[in-house]
Chains A and B, each alone.
Chain A
Amino acid sequence: MIVAEHLTKKYPTRAGPPHWVLRDVNFTIPPRLSVGILGKNGAGKSTLLRIIAGTDHPTSGMVRRDVRVSWPVGFGGGLQGSLTGRQNAKFVCRIQGRESEADEIMQRMQDFAEIGTAFDEPVKTYSSGMKARLQFAMSLAFEFDVYISDEVTAVGDANFRKKALAHFQSLVGKAGLIMVSHNEQTLKDYCKAGLLLHEGQAYWYDEIGDAIDAYKAKSAT
Protein backbone atom coordinates (compact mmCIF):
# COMPACT_ATOMS: atom_id res chain seq x y z
CA MET A 1 0.00 0.00 0.00
CA ILE A 2 1.22 3.49 -0.79
CA VAL A 3 -0.22 6.33 1.25
CA ALA A 4 0.35 9.99 0.45
CA GLU A 5 -0.30 12.29 3.38
CA HIS A 6 -0.58 16.05 3.00
CA LEU A 7 1.87 15.93 0.16
CA THR A 8 3.07 19.37 -0.85
CA LYS A 9 5.74 20.29 -3.36
CA LYS A 10 6.70 23.76 -4.42
CA TYR A 11 9.53 25.05 -6.57
CA PRO A 12 11.05 28.49 -6.19
CA THR A 13 10.60 30.72 -9.21
CA ARG A 14 12.54 33.70 -10.46
CA ALA A 15 9.44 35.86 -10.29
CA GLY A 16 9.19 35.46 -6.53
CA PRO A 17 6.12 33.54 -5.42
CA PRO A 18 6.85 29.81 -5.46
CA HIS A 19 5.22 27.53 -7.94
CA TRP A 20 3.00 25.04 -6.15
CA VAL A 21 2.98 21.74 -7.97
CA LEU A 22 1.21 19.72 -5.32
CA ARG A 23 -0.88 21.25 -2.57
CA ASP A 24 -1.88 19.08 0.35
CA VAL A 25 -2.46 15.99 -1.74
CA ASN A 26 -3.84 12.88 -0.05
CA PHE A 27 -4.51 9.50 -1.57
CA THR A 28 -4.09 5.81 -0.94
CA ILE A 29 -3.08 3.33 -3.57
CA PRO A 30 -4.17 -0.17 -2.55
CA PRO A 31 -1.80 -3.05 -3.19
CA ARG A 32 -1.69 -4.70 -6.61
CA LEU A 33 -3.74 -2.01 -8.33
CA SER A 34 -2.70 -0.40 -11.58
CA VAL A 35 -3.16 3.34 -11.55
CA GLY A 36 -2.78 5.85 -14.34
CA ILE A 37 -1.78 9.39 -13.45
CA LEU A 38 -3.25 12.06 -15.72
CA GLY A 39 -2.81 15.77 -15.97
CA LYS A 40 -1.63 18.57 -18.17
CA ASN A 41 2.04 19.20 -18.89
CA GLY A 42 3.58 20.61 -15.76
CA ALA A 43 0.73 19.41 -13.55
CA GLY A 44 3.23 17.52 -11.39
CA LYS A 45 2.81 13.98 -12.68
CA SER A 46 6.49 13.18 -12.96
CA THR A 47 7.24 14.96 -9.70
CA LEU A 48 4.63 12.86 -7.95
CA LEU A 49 6.03 9.73 -9.53
CA ARG A 50 9.54 10.60 -8.35
CA ILE A 51 8.29 11.24 -4.83
CA ILE A 52 6.51 7.88 -4.83
CA ALA A 53 9.68 6.22 -6.11
CA GLY A 54 11.65 7.86 -3.31
CA THR A 55 14.08 9.84 -5.44
CA ASP A 56 12.58 13.26 -4.75
CA HIS A 57 11.57 14.81 -1.46
CA PRO A 58 8.26 16.60 -0.93
CA THR A 59 8.39 20.09 0.55
CA SER A 60 6.13 18.84 3.32
CA GLY A 61 3.98 15.82 3.96
CA MET A 62 5.11 12.30 3.29
CA VAL A 63 4.60 9.11 1.36
CA ARG A 64 4.40 5.90 3.31
CA ARG A 65 5.39 2.77 1.43
CA ASP A 66 5.34 -0.74 2.78
CA VAL A 67 6.01 -2.28 -0.61
CA ARG A 68 8.99 -2.57 -2.89
CA VAL A 69 8.72 0.12 -5.54
CA SER A 70 10.70 -0.13 -8.78
CA TRP A 71 12.69 2.61 -10.45
CA PRO A 72 10.94 4.01 -13.52
CA VAL A 73 10.49 1.09 -15.94
CA GLY A 74 12.66 1.54 -18.99
CA PHE A 75 14.80 4.18 -17.31
CA GLY A 76 18.01 4.37 -19.30
CA GLY A 77 20.21 7.10 -17.89
CA GLY A 78 22.06 4.64 -15.73
CA LEU A 79 23.58 2.70 -18.58
CA GLN A 80 27.34 3.23 -18.88
CA GLY A 81 28.09 3.19 -22.60
CA SER A 82 31.50 1.60 -22.48
CA LEU A 83 30.35 -1.29 -20.29
CA THR A 84 28.54 -4.26 -21.76
CA GLY A 85 24.86 -4.94 -21.25
CA ARG A 86 25.81 -7.69 -18.85
CA GLN A 87 28.11 -5.47 -16.79
CA ASN A 88 25.39 -2.83 -16.54
CA ALA A 89 22.86 -5.47 -15.56
CA LYS A 90 25.15 -6.83 -12.88
CA PHE A 91 25.56 -3.36 -11.44
CA VAL A 92 21.80 -3.07 -11.02
CA CYS A 93 21.65 -6.55 -9.42
CA ARG A 94 24.27 -5.43 -6.93
CA ILE A 95 22.56 -2.23 -5.86
CA GLN A 96 19.31 -4.14 -5.50
CA GLY A 97 21.11 -6.52 -3.17
CA ARG A 98 20.49 -9.50 -5.44
CA GLU A 99 24.03 -10.32 -6.39
CA SER A 100 23.70 -13.92 -5.28
CA GLU A 101 20.92 -14.49 -7.83
CA ALA A 102 22.50 -12.28 -10.48
CA ASP A 103 23.00 -15.09 -13.00
CA GLU A 104 19.35 -16.07 -12.91
CA ILE A 105 18.15 -12.48 -13.11
CA MET A 106 20.48 -11.67 -15.98
CA GLN A 107 19.28 -14.75 -17.84
CA ARG A 108 15.72 -13.45 -17.50
CA MET A 109 16.82 -10.07 -18.82
CA GLN A 110 18.59 -11.62 -21.75
CA ASP A 111 15.58 -13.74 -22.64
CA PHE A 112 13.16 -10.86 -22.36
CA ALA A 113 15.26 -8.31 -24.22
CA GLU A 114 15.99 -10.72 -27.10
CA ILE A 115 19.13 -8.88 -28.07
CA GLY A 116 21.16 -12.07 -28.40
CA THR A 117 24.93 -11.86 -28.18
CA ALA A 118 24.78 -8.06 -28.08
CA PHE A 119 24.23 -8.52 -24.33
CA ASP A 120 28.00 -8.95 -24.07
CA GLU A 121 28.85 -5.96 -26.26
CA PRO A 122 29.34 -2.38 -25.00
CA VAL A 123 26.04 -0.57 -24.66
CA LYS A 124 27.28 2.31 -26.84
CA THR A 125 27.18 -0.01 -29.84
CA TYR A 126 23.45 -0.65 -29.36
CA SER A 127 20.74 0.79 -31.56
CA SER A 128 18.16 2.88 -29.71
CA GLY A 129 15.66 0.03 -30.00
CA MET A 130 18.08 -2.46 -28.50
CA LYS A 131 18.88 -0.07 -25.69
CA ALA A 132 15.20 0.38 -24.96
CA ARG A 133 14.68 -3.38 -24.89
CA LEU A 134 17.54 -3.85 -22.45
CA GLN A 135 16.30 -1.07 -20.17
CA PHE A 136 12.83 -2.52 -20.17
CA ALA A 137 14.07 -6.01 -19.48
CA MET A 138 16.28 -4.75 -16.66
CA SER A 139 13.27 -3.39 -14.80
CA LEU A 140 11.06 -6.38 -15.38
CA ALA A 141 13.61 -8.98 -14.33
CA PHE A 142 13.15 -7.95 -10.70
CA GLU A 143 9.99 -8.77 -8.81
CA PHE A 144 8.68 -5.51 -7.41
CA ASP A 145 5.36 -5.02 -5.66
CA VAL A 146 4.77 -1.83 -7.61
CA TYR A 147 6.22 -0.88 -10.98
CA ILE A 148 6.54 2.74 -11.93
CA SER A 149 6.44 3.98 -15.48
CA ASP A 150 6.80 7.45 -16.94
CA GLU A 151 5.77 7.56 -20.59
CA VAL A 152 8.08 4.82 -21.73
CA THR A 153 5.87 1.79 -22.15
CA ALA A 154 5.74 2.41 -25.86
CA VAL A 155 9.32 1.54 -26.70
CA GLY A 156 10.69 -0.84 -29.25
CA ASP A 157 8.91 -2.28 -32.26
CA ALA A 158 5.32 -3.51 -32.37
CA ASN A 159 6.28 -7.02 -31.36
CA PHE A 160 8.17 -5.87 -28.33
CA ARG A 161 5.34 -3.56 -27.27
CA LYS A 162 2.94 -6.46 -27.44
CA LYS A 163 5.28 -8.55 -25.33
CA ALA A 164 5.63 -5.79 -22.75
CA LEU A 165 1.88 -5.37 -22.50
CA ALA A 166 1.40 -9.12 -22.16
CA HIS A 167 3.99 -9.16 -19.40
CA PHE A 168 2.22 -6.41 -17.48
CA GLN A 169 -1.12 -8.11 -17.91
CA SER A 170 0.38 -11.31 -16.52
CA LEU A 171 1.35 -9.29 -13.44
CA VAL A 172 -2.22 -8.20 -12.76
CA GLY A 173 -3.14 -9.42 -9.30
CA LYS A 174 0.53 -9.98 -8.44
CA ALA A 175 1.97 -6.50 -8.66
CA GLY A 176 0.78 -2.94 -8.97
CA LEU A 177 1.63 -0.40 -11.63
CA ILE A 178 1.67 3.37 -11.43
CA MET A 179 2.07 5.02 -14.78
CA VAL A 180 2.06 8.44 -16.34
CA SER A 181 0.89 8.70 -19.92
CA HIS A 182 -0.82 11.08 -22.27
CA ASN A 183 -2.02 8.26 -24.46
CA GLU A 184 -5.62 7.35 -23.75
CA GLN A 185 -5.29 3.89 -25.24
CA THR A 186 -2.16 3.09 -23.24
CA LEU A 187 -3.88 4.15 -20.05
CA LYS A 188 -6.91 2.00 -20.84
CA ASP A 189 -4.73 -0.97 -21.74
CA TYR A 190 -2.62 -0.87 -18.61
CA CYS A 191 -4.62 0.78 -15.85
CA LYS A 192 -7.65 0.07 -13.73
CA ALA A 193 -7.91 3.23 -11.63
CA GLY A 194 -6.94 6.82 -12.35
CA LEU A 195 -5.48 9.73 -10.45
CA LEU A 196 -6.04 13.14 -12.00
CA LEU A 197 -3.74 16.01 -11.08
CA HIS A 198 -5.21 19.42 -11.62
CA GLU A 199 -3.98 22.73 -10.23
CA GLY A 200 -2.14 21.16 -7.33
CA GLN A 201 -4.99 18.90 -6.34
CA ALA A 202 -5.36 15.16 -6.88
CA TYR A 203 -8.65 13.47 -7.74
CA TRP A 204 -9.08 9.73 -7.43
CA TYR A 205 -11.22 7.66 -9.82
CA ASP A 206 -11.85 3.96 -9.39
CA GLU A 207 -12.29 3.58 -13.14
CA ILE A 208 -9.67 4.88 -15.53
CA GLY A 209 -12.43 5.74 -18.03
CA ASP A 210 -13.97 8.20 -15.57
CA ALA A 211 -10.57 9.76 -14.94
CA ILE A 212 -10.05 10.27 -18.66
CA ASP A 213 -13.49 11.86 -19.03
CA ALA A 214 -12.86 14.14 -16.07
CA TYR A 215 -9.46 15.07 -17.49
CA LYS A 216 -11.04 16.03 -20.80
CA ALA A 217 -13.74 18.05 -19.05
CA LYS A 218 -11.12 19.83 -16.90
CA SER A 219 -8.80 20.66 -19.76
CA ALA A 220 -11.71 21.91 -21.87
CA THR A 221 -12.58 24.60 -19.34
Chain B
Amino acid sequence: MSGRSSTHIMLSVWKALLLREATFRLFGTRAAWAWLLLEPLSHFAFLTFLFAIVRQRVVGGIDVAIWLILGLIGFFTFRRTANQMGGAIDSNLALFTYRQVLPFDAIVVRGVLEGLIMLVAFILVTLVMALIGYDVVPDRPLMVLGGFFGLWLLGGSLGLAVAVGGVIVEETRQIFSMLMMPLYFISGVIFPLSAVPPQYREILMLNPVVHGVEAMRAGFSTYYHASDGLDLSYLYLCALCLLALGLTLYTRFAKAIETT
Protein backbone atom coordinates (compact mmCIF):
# COMPACT_ATOMS: atom_id res chain seq x y z
CA MET B 1 0.00 0.00 0.00
CA SER B 2 1.23 3.45 -0.80
CA GLY B 3 0.14 4.86 2.53
CA ARG B 4 -1.38 7.98 1.00
CA SER B 5 -4.81 8.98 2.25
CA SER B 6 -7.65 9.14 -0.25
CA THR B 7 -7.84 12.90 0.09
CA HIS B 8 -4.13 13.20 -0.53
CA ILE B 9 -4.39 11.06 -3.66
CA MET B 10 -7.38 13.02 -4.91
CA LEU B 11 -5.64 16.35 -4.44
CA SER B 12 -2.47 15.27 -6.20
CA VAL B 13 -4.56 13.85 -9.06
CA TRP B 14 -6.48 17.12 -9.31
CA LYS B 15 -3.28 19.10 -9.42
CA ALA B 16 -1.79 16.81 -12.06
CA LEU B 17 -4.93 16.88 -14.20
CA LEU B 18 -5.38 20.62 -13.87
CA LEU B 19 -1.82 21.35 -14.98
CA ARG B 20 -1.99 18.85 -17.81
CA GLU B 21 -5.33 20.09 -19.04
CA ALA B 22 -4.32 23.74 -18.70
CA THR B 23 -1.08 23.21 -20.61
CA PHE B 24 -3.02 21.53 -23.36
CA ARG B 25 -5.87 24.06 -23.49
CA LEU B 26 -3.53 27.07 -23.49
CA PHE B 27 -0.52 25.83 -25.43
CA GLY B 28 -1.62 22.52 -27.00
CA THR B 29 -2.06 23.99 -30.46
CA ARG B 30 -0.66 27.13 -32.00
CA ALA B 31 -1.81 30.15 -29.96
CA ALA B 32 -4.50 27.98 -28.38
CA TRP B 33 -5.00 30.61 -25.70
CA ALA B 34 -5.99 33.21 -28.28
CA TRP B 35 -8.74 30.99 -29.65
CA LEU B 36 -10.26 30.70 -26.20
CA LEU B 37 -10.84 34.46 -26.23
CA LEU B 38 -11.73 34.64 -29.87
CA GLU B 39 -15.02 32.77 -29.64
CA PRO B 40 -16.84 35.18 -27.30
CA LEU B 41 -15.08 38.14 -28.91
CA SER B 42 -16.25 37.22 -32.40
CA HIS B 43 -19.83 37.01 -31.15
CA PHE B 44 -19.32 40.36 -29.47
CA ALA B 45 -17.94 42.02 -32.59
CA PHE B 46 -20.73 40.72 -34.78
CA LEU B 47 -23.46 41.70 -32.35
CA THR B 48 -22.10 45.19 -31.69
CA PHE B 49 -22.10 45.60 -35.45
CA LEU B 50 -25.75 44.54 -35.63
CA PHE B 51 -26.76 46.88 -32.83
CA ALA B 52 -24.84 49.67 -34.55
CA ILE B 53 -26.87 49.09 -37.71
CA VAL B 54 -30.16 49.42 -35.86
CA ARG B 55 -28.64 52.42 -34.06
CA GLN B 56 -29.37 51.08 -30.66
CA ARG B 57 -26.77 52.48 -28.28
CA VAL B 58 -28.42 51.73 -24.97
CA VAL B 59 -30.22 48.67 -23.65
CA GLY B 60 -32.21 48.95 -20.43
CA GLY B 61 -30.27 52.03 -19.46
CA ILE B 62 -26.70 50.82 -19.99
CA ASP B 63 -24.36 51.03 -22.94
CA VAL B 64 -24.99 48.27 -25.45
CA ALA B 65 -21.34 47.18 -25.50
CA ILE B 66 -21.28 46.66 -21.74
CA TRP B 67 -24.68 44.99 -21.90
CA LEU B 68 -23.44 42.55 -24.52
CA ILE B 69 -20.08 41.82 -22.91
CA LEU B 70 -21.65 40.96 -19.57
CA GLY B 71 -24.26 38.76 -21.20
CA LEU B 72 -21.81 36.96 -23.44
CA ILE B 73 -19.20 36.36 -20.73
CA GLY B 74 -21.88 35.08 -18.38
CA PHE B 75 -23.53 32.82 -20.92
CA PHE B 76 -20.28 31.46 -22.31
CA THR B 77 -19.07 30.67 -18.81
CA PHE B 78 -22.22 28.63 -18.32
CA ARG B 79 -22.13 26.91 -21.69
CA ARG B 80 -18.43 26.16 -21.86
CA THR B 81 -18.29 24.79 -18.35
CA ALA B 82 -21.24 22.51 -19.05
CA ASN B 83 -19.74 21.46 -22.39
CA GLN B 84 -16.27 20.77 -21.07
CA MET B 85 -17.48 18.84 -18.07
CA GLY B 86 -20.01 16.93 -20.13
CA GLY B 87 -17.21 15.62 -22.35
CA ALA B 88 -14.71 15.00 -19.56
CA ILE B 89 -15.23 11.25 -19.29
CA ASP B 90 -14.99 10.58 -23.02
CA SER B 91 -11.85 12.62 -23.53
CA ASN B 92 -10.00 11.21 -20.55
CA LEU B 93 -10.90 7.53 -20.92
CA ALA B 94 -7.29 6.49 -21.35
CA LEU B 95 -6.26 8.09 -18.07
CA PHE B 96 -8.55 5.88 -16.04
CA THR B 97 -6.06 3.08 -16.59
CA TYR B 98 -4.16 4.79 -13.82
CA ARG B 99 -6.05 3.49 -10.80
CA GLN B 100 -5.67 6.84 -9.02
CA VAL B 101 -7.57 8.81 -11.67
CA LEU B 102 -11.34 8.58 -11.40
CA PRO B 103 -13.89 10.00 -13.85
CA PHE B 104 -15.06 12.31 -11.07
CA ASP B 105 -11.61 13.90 -10.90
CA ALA B 106 -11.58 14.54 -14.63
CA ILE B 107 -15.04 16.13 -14.52
CA VAL B 108 -14.31 18.39 -11.56
CA VAL B 109 -10.94 19.53 -12.87
CA ARG B 110 -12.39 20.53 -16.22
CA GLY B 111 -15.05 22.62 -14.52
CA VAL B 112 -12.53 24.39 -12.32
CA LEU B 113 -10.23 25.06 -15.26
CA GLU B 114 -13.05 26.44 -17.39
CA GLY B 115 -14.14 28.73 -14.56
CA LEU B 116 -10.59 30.04 -14.20
CA ILE B 117 -10.20 30.57 -17.95
CA MET B 118 -13.45 32.51 -18.16
CA LEU B 119 -12.56 34.58 -15.10
CA VAL B 120 -9.26 35.56 -16.71
CA ALA B 121 -11.08 36.31 -19.97
CA PHE B 122 -13.56 38.46 -18.05
CA ILE B 123 -10.77 40.44 -16.38
CA LEU B 124 -8.90 40.89 -19.67
CA VAL B 125 -11.97 42.13 -21.50
CA THR B 126 -12.76 44.53 -18.65
CA LEU B 127 -9.24 45.92 -18.79
CA VAL B 128 -9.45 46.42 -22.54
CA MET B 129 -12.82 48.17 -22.19
CA ALA B 130 -11.29 50.44 -19.56
CA LEU B 131 -8.42 51.28 -21.89
CA ILE B 132 -10.82 52.16 -24.67
CA GLY B 133 -12.47 54.59 -22.30
CA TYR B 134 -15.53 52.84 -20.91
CA ASP B 135 -16.40 53.27 -17.28
CA VAL B 136 -15.97 49.68 -16.13
CA VAL B 137 -16.28 50.09 -12.37
CA PRO B 138 -19.44 48.22 -11.37
CA ASP B 139 -21.84 49.77 -8.86
CA ARG B 140 -22.30 46.47 -7.05
CA PRO B 141 -19.27 44.30 -7.82
CA LEU B 142 -20.42 41.47 -5.57
CA MET B 143 -23.65 41.13 -7.52
CA VAL B 144 -21.72 40.93 -10.79
CA LEU B 145 -19.50 38.23 -9.33
CA GLY B 146 -22.53 36.54 -7.79
CA GLY B 147 -24.14 36.25 -11.21
CA PHE B 148 -20.91 35.08 -12.81
CA PHE B 149 -20.23 32.47 -10.14
CA GLY B 150 -23.84 31.31 -10.20
CA LEU B 151 -23.72 30.77 -13.95
CA TRP B 152 -20.47 28.83 -13.54
CA LEU B 153 -22.03 26.69 -10.83
CA LEU B 154 -25.12 26.08 -12.94
CA GLY B 155 -22.96 25.11 -15.91
CA GLY B 156 -20.86 22.84 -13.73
CA SER B 157 -23.86 21.12 -12.18
CA LEU B 158 -25.37 20.62 -15.61
CA GLY B 159 -22.03 19.38 -16.92
CA LEU B 160 -21.75 16.80 -14.17
CA ALA B 161 -25.29 15.59 -14.84
CA VAL B 162 -24.58 15.41 -18.59
CA ALA B 163 -21.30 13.54 -18.08
CA VAL B 164 -22.97 10.99 -15.82
CA GLY B 165 -26.07 10.86 -17.99
CA GLY B 166 -23.89 10.12 -21.01
CA VAL B 167 -22.73 6.90 -19.40
CA ILE B 168 -26.26 5.75 -18.66
CA VAL B 169 -27.95 6.99 -21.84
CA GLU B 170 -25.54 7.45 -24.73
CA GLU B 171 -27.54 10.18 -26.45
CA THR B 172 -27.46 12.59 -23.51
CA ARG B 173 -24.77 14.79 -24.98
CA GLN B 174 -26.49 15.13 -28.35
CA ILE B 175 -29.71 16.23 -26.65
CA PHE B 176 -27.71 18.64 -24.52
CA SER B 177 -26.04 20.29 -27.53
CA MET B 178 -29.40 20.58 -29.26
CA LEU B 179 -30.86 22.45 -26.28
CA MET B 180 -27.92 24.84 -26.01
CA MET B 181 -28.61 26.65 -29.26
CA PRO B 182 -32.15 27.90 -28.44
CA LEU B 183 -31.03 28.60 -24.89
CA TYR B 184 -28.60 31.15 -26.28
CA PHE B 185 -31.48 33.07 -27.80
CA ILE B 186 -34.00 32.89 -24.98
CA SER B 187 -31.61 33.72 -22.15
CA GLY B 188 -31.59 37.44 -22.80
CA VAL B 189 -27.96 37.37 -23.84
CA ILE B 190 -28.29 39.04 -27.22
CA PHE B 191 -31.97 39.89 -27.21
CA PRO B 192 -33.38 41.98 -24.35
CA LEU B 193 -36.17 40.17 -22.55
CA SER B 194 -37.78 43.52 -21.77
CA ALA B 195 -38.90 43.51 -25.41
CA VAL B 196 -40.95 40.38 -24.77
CA PRO B 197 -44.61 40.83 -23.70
CA PRO B 198 -45.01 40.22 -19.93
CA GLN B 199 -47.15 37.09 -20.20
CA TYR B 200 -44.42 35.34 -22.23
CA ARG B 201 -41.59 36.85 -20.24
CA GLU B 202 -42.83 35.08 -17.14
CA ILE B 203 -42.26 31.79 -18.89
CA LEU B 204 -38.79 32.82 -20.06
CA MET B 205 -37.91 33.83 -16.51
CA LEU B 206 -38.20 30.17 -15.49
CA ASN B 207 -34.86 29.71 -17.21
CA PRO B 208 -32.23 30.16 -14.47
CA VAL B 209 -29.59 31.39 -16.94
CA VAL B 210 -31.57 34.62 -17.41
CA HIS B 211 -31.25 35.42 -13.73
CA GLY B 212 -27.48 35.09 -13.79
CA VAL B 213 -27.06 37.19 -16.92
CA GLU B 214 -29.44 39.91 -15.72
CA ALA B 215 -27.88 39.95 -12.24
CA MET B 216 -24.48 40.65 -13.76
CA ARG B 217 -25.92 43.64 -15.61
CA ALA B 218 -27.98 44.89 -12.70
CA GLY B 219 -24.89 44.63 -10.52
CA PHE B 220 -22.91 46.66 -13.00
CA SER B 221 -25.24 49.62 -12.95
CA THR B 222 -27.99 50.49 -10.51
CA TYR B 223 -29.69 52.29 -13.40
CA TYR B 224 -30.13 49.10 -15.39
CA HIS B 225 -33.75 48.07 -15.88
CA ALA B 226 -33.45 44.36 -15.32
CA SER B 227 -36.27 42.01 -16.30
CA ASP B 228 -39.04 41.85 -13.71
CA GLY B 229 -38.71 38.97 -11.31
CA LEU B 230 -34.92 38.93 -11.29
CA ASP B 231 -33.92 36.68 -8.41
CA LEU B 232 -30.34 35.53 -8.03
CA SER B 233 -31.29 32.98 -5.37
CA TYR B 234 -33.45 31.22 -7.96
CA LEU B 235 -30.32 30.65 -10.05
CA TYR B 236 -28.47 29.19 -7.08
CA LEU B 237 -31.42 27.04 -6.12
CA CYS B 238 -31.55 25.56 -9.63
CA ALA B 239 -27.78 25.06 -9.65
CA LEU B 240 -27.76 23.27 -6.29
CA CYS B 241 -30.70 21.05 -7.26
CA LEU B 242 -28.91 20.06 -10.45
CA LEU B 243 -25.70 19.48 -8.49
CA ALA B 244 -27.53 17.21 -6.06
CA LEU B 245 -29.02 15.35 -9.01
CA GLY B 246 -25.62 14.95 -10.67
CA LEU B 247 -23.93 13.75 -7.50
CA THR B 248 -26.74 11.31 -6.74
CA LEU B 249 -26.59 9.88 -10.24
CA TYR B 250 -22.81 9.59 -9.99
CA THR B 251 -23.01 7.74 -6.68
CA ARG B 252 -25.76 5.46 -7.92
CA PHE B 253 -23.94 4.55 -11.13
CA ALA B 254 -20.37 4.85 -9.83
CA LYS B 255 -19.53 1.26 -10.72
CA ALA B 256 -20.73 1.63 -14.30
CA ILE B 257 -19.02 5.00 -14.70
CA GLU B 258 -15.73 3.83 -13.30
CA THR B 259 -15.51 0.80 -15.54
CA THR B 260 -16.20 2.59 -18.82
Q: How far is the CA of A82 from the CA of B97 in the complex (A)?
A: 20
A57-B259, A71-B99, A75-B97 given; A97·B29 CB < 8 A: no
Indicate if A158 sits at the interface (CB-CB under 8 A).
Answer: no
Contacts of A69 in B (CB 8 A): 99
- A128: Cβ under 8 A from any B Cβ: no
How long is the Cα–Cα vector from A71 to B98 in the complex, in angstroms?
6
Q: How far is the CB of B31 from chain A (nearest CB, A)?
A: 13
B2 within 8 A of A: yes
* Shortest CB distance A147–B (Å): 14
Q: Which of A54, A57, A95 contacts B13 (CB 8 A)?
A: A95
**B33 at interface by CB-CB < 8 Å:** no
Which partner residue on chain B sits nearest A145 by CB separation?
A: B1
Q: Which residue of A lies closest to B1 (CB)?
A: A66
- Min distance, Cβ B48 to any Cβ of chain A, angstroms: 34
**A94/B97 in contact, CB under 8 A:** no
User: Which of B20-28, B72-80, B110-118 sits within the interface?
Assistant: B20-28
Q: Which residues of chain B in 92-141 are interfacial with respect to chain A, using CB atoms and an 8 Å cutoff?
A: 93-101
Question: What distance in Å separates the Cβ of A71 from its nearest Cβ neighbour in chain B?
Answer: 5
A67 within 8 A of B: yes
Contact partners of A97 in chain B: CB under 8 A: 2, 4, 8-9, 12
**Considering only CB atoms and an 8 Å cut-off, how many residues of chain A contact the other chain?**
26
- Residues of chain A within 8 A (CB-CB) of B98 are 55, 71, 78, 92, 95
- A95 and B16 contact, Cβ closer than 8 Å, known pairs A55-B97, A80-B24: yes
Q: A57-B259, A80-B24 are in contact. Are A94 and B99 (CB under 8 A)?
A: no
Q: Is the CB of B28 within 8 A of A82?
A: yes
CB distance from A37 to the nearest CB of B (A): 18
Establish whether residues B9 and A72, one from each chain, have CB atoms under 8 Å apart when the complex forms: no
Q: Are A67 and B97 in contact (CB under 8 A)?
A: no
Q: Check: B19 CB closer than 8 A to any chain A CB.
A: yes
C-alpha spacing A78/B16, complex, angstroms: 13
Q: Is the interface of A mostly helix, strand, loop or mixed?
A: loop
Bound: A83/B24 CA distance, A: 7
In contact, A56 and B97 (Cβ under 8 angstroms): no
When the two chains form their complex, are residues B23 and A78 in contact, meaning their CB atoms are under 8 A apart?
A: no
Nearest CB to that of A144 among chain B residues? Answer: B2
Say whether, besides A54-B99, A78-B97, A83 and B1 are in contact (CB < 8 Å). no
- Measured between C-beta atoms, what is the minimum distance from A180 to chain B in Å? 15
- Given A71-B98, A78-B94, A78-B95; A94-B15 close (CB under 8 Å): yes
Query: Which residues 1-47 of B have a CB within 8 angstroms of A?
Result: 1-2, 4, 8-9, 12-13, 15-17, 19-20, 23-24, 27-29
B95 to A99, Cβ gap below 8 A? no
Interface residues of A in 120-151 (CB under 8 A from B): none
Residue of A nearest to B27 (CB): A82
Would you call B252 an interface residue if the criterion is a C-beta within 8 Å of the partner chain's C-beta atoms? no
Tell yes or no: A87 within 8 A of B by CB: yes
- Asked whether any CB of chain A lies closer than 8 Å to the CB of B231, the reply is no
Residue A77 at the chain B interface, CB threshold 8 Å: yes
What is the minimal beta-carbon distance from B242 to any residue of chain A, in angstroms? 27
Contact of A68 among B1, B28, B95 (CB under 8 A): B1
Tell me the minimal C-beta distance from A67 to chain B in angstroms: 7
Would A87 and B1 count as touching, CB distance under 8 A?
no
Residues of B within 8 A of A (CB): 1-2, 4, 8-9, 12-13, 15-17, 19-20, 23-24, 27-29, 93-101, 255, 258-259
- 12 further interface pairs, Cβ-Cβ under 8 Å (given A55-B96, A78-B97): A55-B97, A55-B98, A57-B255, A57-B259, A71-B99, A77-B94, A77-B95, A80-B20, A80-B28, A92-B98, A94-B15, A97-B9
